[in-house]
Structure 1
Amino acid sequence: MLKKYQPEYYCEPQLLTIELTDKPGSPNVIPRPEHVITRTNICESALKVLYRLKAAGFEAFLVGGGVRDLLLGREPKDFDIATNALPEEVTGLFRNSRLIGRRFKLVHVRFGREIIEVATFRSGHDAASDDMGRMEDGMILRDNVYGNLEDDAWRRDFTINSLYYDIRDFSVVDYTGGVSDLEKGVLRIIGDAEQRYLEDPVRMLRAVRFAAKLGFRIHADSEAPITRLGDRLEAVPAARLFDEMLKLFLSGYAVETFELLRHYDLFRYLFPETDDCLAKEEKGFPHMLVAKGLLNTDDRVAEGKPVTPAYLFAVLLWEPVRERAEALLAEGFSEVQSLQRAGDEVIAAQTQRVSLPKRFSLQTREIWTMQARLKRRNGKRAERLFAQARFRAAYDFLLLRADTGEDELQSLADWWTEYQEVNIDNRVNMAQQVPSGGVRKKRRRRRKKVAQG
């Protein structure tokens, strides 16, 4: 029996377990009385799109994660729609829409800040003979081969994401056994797992993400090829992997996701330098900052607080930055210079795998370099640091480092905590009592002028 959340407006229907039939073209159709989805739980904007497509004579279904989450009693993050209307026909029905995507052509219908994504039914690539469905080395480069509802169901990635809510009679249509897998807590890829991962290696990351988010186990057949095919992620564009990273680590299940990525040996293809650092021990203990940082991230997401990608990457890349900065410090660079240079080098290498837009990478670098500046808090320095836009993120990062026992930073973290809690006069007194110290800048040696004549 599927676990389901039941708010006040829910009645008490039962979801029947219906086994998948092997006969192609004959889906399991679960009528309205036998499942828990009601229109009350579907956002008004999605209903408007569904009804307008229906009124225009097109087939229209709620599909994917929205149906999955509703059946599990969860609140969907977004609502996607599948239809037999072509993208140009959808944009003709909705003036508030625009066509997006090249690899996968979609229509976004906008209602204020809310976007409803509409996709035309798609088919597999066996019959693709033109540029609408290009493949290279087994990877799908373009996916605009249109089909019917059954084609669309079998080309989706996982059975639990291949469920359709029919607006005509409010039934759930299941071609692939998704309802049964939902009840068993199983994540199963549709078709031959190895072939599907080769078509799109990001599916391996999606398998990890859904397993972590839903607490499902990955079916043995879907799990087996993952560790063998991890290197295929190197062929995925870095910009696309950045988008996947946000989904992996900013959805409230970062710790579980991180553990599964390392379990399936995928993390090293995303953050190779960090993975190398995590393989080593420090003073006989494993590095804990990444795990604790991700736990803090999950806590903030659960509390509805924002988490910036800049802070996430500061956590994920800190170990290689710290290791490189220590080497530069030993060469005679100041602590600030060491962190700046180490940060530049690590980010330059990292963006070859997972891109980090400049607006975030600059903030990440600031968080790192402020770790050195937070030590220099005497006189008016504390006031100037406290006024900086990135102070809070840098302070939170300092607390994280102190919590993991790094460099005996607890007293410094406590000082900055107290500094924020006292009034302005006490802040001045605290800063005045801090010894000046710190590393002085080395004066540049002036070149001797060459005598002329």
Structure 2
Amino acid sequence: MKSLLESKKHPEGEQKPRIIPRAEHPVSRQHISDAALKVLYRLDGAGFDAFLVGGCIRDALLGLMPKDFDVATNATPEQVRELFRNSRLIGRRFRIVHVRFGREVIEVTTFRGKPQDEHDNHIAQQSDAGLLLRDNVWGSIEEDALRRDFTVNALYYSIADFSIHDFADGAHDIETRTLRLIGDPQTRYREDPVRMLRAVRFASKLDFTLSPETEAPIYELAPLLLQIPPARLFDEVLKLFMAGHGLMTFRMLSHYGLFGMLFPEAEEAMADAAWAEQLIEAALTNTDKRIADSRPVTPAFLLAAFLWAPVAHRQAQLESDGMPAIPALQAAAQQVISRQLQHTSIPKRFGMPMRDIWELQARLPQRHGKRAFQTREHPRFRAAYDLLLLREQAGEIPRGLGDWWTAFQDGDEHEQRRLIQKTGGDPASQGPKKKPRKRRRRKPRQTTE
């Protein structure tokens, strides 16, 4: 097969794409889901341009099987909506169409133009700092390509002739495994600071190197992330750490000063205690392995690990002021969460289990009598036990308690009693007991005289 690097380059600054014909690239319709093909063919049949764009083409060129499919077209969102009954318009900042086929969603976007242009009464709005507030300016495919973030994401696969249109030399960067922003990096990061997180995420996921001009401004512009709504940053956190490359992602975020913009109190704790960073790395290593083994993972556990050191630090301060241990732990948890919510939101479905995991850290050392059995039956016990093992591994607490709980889970009833006796527990009081059945009271007989 002809190397993509052998394709003739277009002159710098010219917007005409390099057309890579089907015979010279490996992307096949076999790589594309049936749902995405239906969208492409229906748009094409209605007389609109229809292209697959972005990550799915990038991944296919890298020999990876694409999972998500995005479609770009010259049809407006309203026109797309009319073509597909199974679709809905979403977004105000960026208006797009989601076409749903069962559980699969195909995202369809209209070609976007330059922010300062005006088309169809849609105007791009920017803040004084350059942040793009609203961007529903329609344009040509050439403009759309140069508005995308990275060169490797500005590749368009045409359903009309199966060729790839390369507007920013992205095929070359794929072969050299380089991640490069399109346009001036300072301007592009100011338009959307989340692009700094995306740069780290793609570099970690794809094992790419950031180009020097893409990398340089991140150190200075990292604080721009403080402008981004916490809900949006939480979505980015999930993408960063729940995709199987969390450890490398964490190290890159820390290197560029981005992690502290997402988890400021965790970063402060890492500066005070070496075990805090080791705990986070151990948790990410564990999560990456579980994802690689196709085992379930939950953000609640990772968030509990990220924020445990700040909670432990605040708890120690409150206890030194005379507050009892359990109330101190609960108060510390509330303080840490309140500050964290100013940076990344935490939905209740993750926040409540996270609190349980923390509070169980205080219950795990209490193993006398029935307590060990009661703790083991807690719905969050397994996650709390895993965090305990990581705390020991990181050096926060001495080893031993984790081994006890491992043996307790694996042991039979006799072994469990022996383990509790070793802690000084009363063997007569250990083990879950059945509640006595209440005797049903009978109504007194009524006598007739």
* Aligned position for 2:41: 51
Alignment of 1:127 with 2:117, yes or no, is: yes
* Aligned position for 1:447: none
Give 2:286's aligned amino acid: N
Name the CA distance, whole Å, in 2 between partners of 1:89 and 1:286.
53
Task: Find 1:184's aligned residue among 155, 176, 182.
Answer: 176
8 Å Cα contact 1:21-1:28 kept in structure 2: no
Shift of 1:112: 0.9
Task: Find 1:412's aligned residue among 401, 412, 415.
Answer: 401
* Aligned position for 1:379: 369
Q: Secondary structure at 1:104's aligned position in 2?
A: coil
Name the CA distance, whole Å, in 1 between partners of 2:2 and 2:368.
67
8 Å Cα contact 1:370-1:394 kept in structure 2: yes
Give 2:416's aligned amino acid: R
Deviations 1:310-342 (A, max 9, x none): 111111111111111111222333332222111
Shift of 1:430: 3.1
Shift of 1:281: 4.0
Name the CA distance, whole Å, in 1 between partners of 2:2 and 2:325.
63
Q: Secondary structure at 1:76's aligned position in 2?
A: coil
Give 1:262's aligned amino acid: S
Name the CA distance, whole Å, in 2 between partners of 1:109 and 1:100.
11
Name the CA distance, whole Å, in 2 between partners of 1:432 and 1:131.
74
Which residues in structure 2 correspond to 1:258-407 (within 5 Å)? 258-282=250-274, 287-407=277-397
Shift of 1:429: 4.5
* Aligned position for 1:246: 238
Q: Secondary structure at 1:229's aligned position in 2?
A: helix
8 Å Cα contact 1:380-1:431 kept in structure 2: no
CA spacing shift, 1:276–1:20, aligned 2, 3 Å: farther
8 Å Cα contact 2:10-2:16 kept in structure 1: no
Task: Find 2:420's aligned residue among 417, 431, 438.
Answer: 431
Name the CA distance, whole Å, in 2 between partners of 1:119 and 1:350.
33
* Aligned position for 2:4: 16
Shift of 1:433: 4.3
Name the CA distance, whole Å, in 2 between partners of 1:123 and 1:94.
24
8 Å Cα contact 1:399-1:413 kept in structure 2: yes
Aligned residues: 422
* Aligned position for 1:89: 79
Which residues in structure 2 correspond to 1:108-147 (within 5 Å)? 108-128=98-118, 132-137=123-128, 138-147=130-139
CA spacing shift, 1:334–1:194, aligned 2, 3 Å: same
Alignment of 1:76 with 2:66, yes or no, is: yes
Deviations 1:406-453 (A, max 9, x none): 221x2111111111112345434433543259xxxxxxxxxxxxxxxx
Sequence identity percentage: 51
Query: Rg: which structure is higher?
Result: 2
Shift of 1:219: 0.8
Deviations 1:66-86 (A, max 9, x none): 000000001223111111111
8 Å Cα contact 2:153-2:170 kept in structure 1: yes
8 Å Cα contact 2:88-2:99 kept in structure 1: yes
Name the CA distance, whole Å, in 2 between partners of 1:392 and 1:92.
49
Shift of 1:255: 1.0
8 Å Cα contact 1:27-1:175 kept in structure 2: yes
Shift of 1:359: 2.0
Which residues in structure 2 correspond to 1:187-198 (within 5 Å)? 187-198=179-190
Name the CA distance, whole Å, in 1 between partners of 2:153 and 2:42.
24
8 Å Cα contact 1:91-1:99 kept in structure 2: yes
Give 1:320's aligned amino acid: P
Report which stretch shifted further, 334-343 or 101-110. 334-343
Task: Find 2:200's aligned residue among 203, 208, 214.
Answer: 208
Report which stretch shifted further, 245-254 or 122-131. 122-131
Q: Secondary structure at 2:134's aligned position in 1?
A: coil
Report which stretch shifted further, 367-376 or 426-435. 426-435
Task: Find 1:31's aligned residue among 21, 24, 32.
Answer: 21
8 Å Cα contact 1:54-1:60 kept in structure 2: yes
Q: Secondary structure at 1:241's aligned position in 2?
A: helix
List runs of 5+ in structure 1 lacking aligned partners.
Answer: 1-12, 438-453
Name the CA distance, whole Å, in 2 between partners of 1:167 and 1:431.
68
Name the CA distance, whole Å, in 1 between partners of 2:234 and 2:46.
38
Shift of 1:22: 2.4
CA spacing shift, 1:328–1:28, aligned 2, 3 Å: same
Report which stretch shifted further, 241-250 or 287-296. 287-296
Give 1:248's aligned amino acid: L
Give 1:205's aligned amino acid: L
Give 1:384's aligned amino acid: Q
List runs of 5+ in structure 2 lacking aligned partners.
Answer: 427-449
Name the CA distance, whole Å, in 2 between partners of 1:286 and 1:427.
32
Name the CA distance, whole Å, in 1 between partners of 2:125 and 2:173.
31
What TM-score results when the alignment is normalised by the length of structure 2? 0.90
Name the CA distance, whole Å, in 1 between partners of 2:370 and 2:326.
18
* Aligned position for 1:227: 219
8 Å Cα contact 2:51-2:71 kept in structure 1: yes
Which residues in structure 2 correspond to 1:168-183 (within 5 Å)? 168-183=160-175
Name the CA distance, whole Å, in 2 between partners of 1:34 and 1:338.
65
